[in-house]
Amino acid sequence: MKDYDHYIIWLDYFNKSLSRGNGRKLKREFSVFDPSLEDLIDAAKSVGYEPPREDTNDHARYPRRPYVRSGYVMLPKKEKKSALIQSIAEKLIQKKNKNKILNH
């Protein structure tokens, strides 16, 4: 049954290695290579959402790429989806850059 009170935020929206036709929603400069579901959950938490475990799925397949497992987080509608995706992307980039600095 369709849920009209939540957005589905797919990992593929933020994957820098995908083309726009394969599901990336942002410019490459606002994307990261191979984000994980944990990265997405952490970014959603830092933006102010608390996604419960039952609202995440790491075995789902994004409709544009049904042959590859992706994953998603379901978040309540508080703002426009594009603004939500952009704010999550900023947090993902911050986290990846922080990890890059720590690993060097």
CATH number at residue 97: 3.30.56.30
How many domains does the chain divide into? 1
Q: Partners of 74 in the beta sheet?
A: 8
Q: Which residue has the tokens 């009209």?
A: 4
Residue 1 lies in a domain: no
Question: Taking 80 as the threshold, does the pLDDT of residue 98 lie above it?
Answer: no
Longest Cα–Cα distance in the chain: 47
**Domain boundaries, position 99:** 6-103
Q: What is the mean pLDDT of residues 5-17?
A: 94
- Strand arrangement, sheet containing 6-10: 6-10, 72-76, 56-57
pLDDT of amino acid 36: 92
Higher pLDDT, 101 or 5: 5
Q: Is position 63 within any domain?
A: yes
Q: What is the pLDDT of residues 36-91, one digit of tens each?
A: 999 999 999 999 999 888 999 999 999 899 898 899 999 999 999 999 999 999 99
Give the 3-state secondary structure of residue 41. helix
Question: Is pLDDT at 8 greater than 70 in this prediction?
Answer: yes
Name the residue with higher pLDDT: 26 or 102.
Answer: 26
How far apart CA 12 and CA 64 sit, in angstroms, is 9
The verdict on residue 42 lying in a domain is: yes
